[in-house]
Chain A
Amino acid sequence: MIRVAAVGDVHLGVDTRGTLRPSYESIAEHADLLLLAGDLTRLGTVAEGEVVADEFAELDVPVVAVLGNHDHQSDAEDKIAALLADRGITVLEGSGTVIDVDGTRIGIAGAKGFGGGFAGKCGHAFGEREMKAFIHHTEDVAEQLRTALLGLSADVRVALTHYSPSADTLRGEPPEIFPFLGSYLLAEAIDDSSVDLAVHGHAHYGSEAGTTAGGVRVRNVAQPVIQAAYRVYTLEPVSTVPE
């Protein structure tokens, strides 16, 4: 059994330094790894990135993160990713990693994701170059996610994004803003890749539980949704599920 802890949208800043760390000191009692689903900072500055590193570095479990839109606000996303990596936090952007938990390989592929909307109610790459750029960005990150997921050699697979792959977990948000909260293109990549769980954040007023159209379980772990330091989900490799 793998115990996956996850949280997103912690929005750390210099004004919240040290506030989260106490809740993670005992995480190894509850989980085997921790996933951070983006929006780790508020303004996306390097100073805020350093707060994130101080809060999550050197925990007793591996920490794997993607960045979110807030982490891009100051055009310092590459610096933030680098400083988190320097502190031992794995940052994914169209890439994957495999962690061995007592002989079981859990593979995580991650990407920020982007918007565009959901099947039948979405934008298209047509018209103004700004509109085409918007949708092409989503297409690009979805394809990177698909490639990263398919490249995982693992017993259990998790997709980690900031934006949502499912409208299910946006319940509670105004439907008019769904195209800014996620894209079905992310779900298509997930459904093509034998994924056991998809984890995202971004939708503060959304719902925790949903599925992709292909039946993969999706969990929105935005901290305003889960109202906790993290959620824990238990997974099992298919080959070891008792009959």
Chain B
Amino acid sequence: MNVPQYDVAALRRALAEDPRTAELGVHVRIRGDQLFLSGDVACEQRRAAIAEVVTEHTDGMVLHNEVHIVRAEPPTEQEDLR
């Protein structure tokens, strides 16, 4: 039986446990035949690796890779906790 909730769980497990990704913080949503990925990763190669792993575990779904690259510029302000 094809149950989207189990498919989401299987994909999140693959993204966490596959050493090519090791990503515990990628959200996976399935809506009909549309598959959406979201979250933040450190670089473009990791964003591509996520799509690669997900594609290996899905068939016939339209992938929307909405994962972003985390910003890492120095801050422009500080928080005063005095």
Seen from chain A, the residues whose Cβ lies within 8 Å of a Cβ on chain B are 1, 3, 10-13, 15-16, 19-20, 23-24, 26-27, 30, 42-43, 70, 73, 196-197, 204-205, 217, 219, 223-224, 226-236, 241
| A contact residues around B45 at 8 Å (CB) | 15
B72 and A42 contact, CB distance less than 8 A: no
B74 and A23 contact, CB distance less than 8 A: yes
B82 and A235 contact, CB distance less than 8 A: yes
| A contact residues around B80 at 8 Å (CB) | 234
Q: List 18 A-B contacts (CB under 8 A).
A: A1-B82, A3-B78, A10-B42, A10-B72, A12-B42, A19-B42, A19-B43, A23-B74, A27-B74, A197-B81, A223-B70, A228-B72, A230-B75, A231-B75, A232-B79, A233-B81, A234-B80, A234-B81
| B contact residues around A13 at 8 Å (CB) | 42
CA distance A236 to B43 in the complex (A): 37
Q: Mark B45-82, 1 if CB is under 8 A from A, else 0.
A: 11000000000000000000000001111110111111
CA distance A30 to B79 in the complex (A): 12
B40 on interface, CB distance cutoff 8 Å: yes
CA distance A51 to B49 in the complex (A): 20
Q: Which residue of B lies closest to A13 (CB)?
A: B42
Q: Which residue of A lies closest to B82 (CB)?
A: A236
Known: A11-B42, A234-B80, A234-B81. A229 touches B22 (CB 8 A): no
B19 on interface, CB distance cutoff 8 Å: yes
CA distance A70 to B16 in the complex (A): 11
B78 and A217 contact, CB distance less than 8 A: no
A16 and B43 contact, CB distance less than 8 A: yes
A224 and B75 contact, CB distance less than 8 A: no
| B contact residues around A241 at 8 Å (CB) | 82
Looking at the assembled complex, report how far the CB atom of B20 sits from the nearest CB atom of chain A, in whole angstroms: 10
Looking at the assembled complex, report how far the CB atom of B22 sits from the nearest CB atom of chain A, in whole angstroms: 5
Give the residue of B19, B71, B75 whose beta carbon is less than 8 angstroms from that of A43. B19
CA distance A219 to B79 in the complex (A): 11
A19 and B72 contact, CB distance less than 8 A: yes
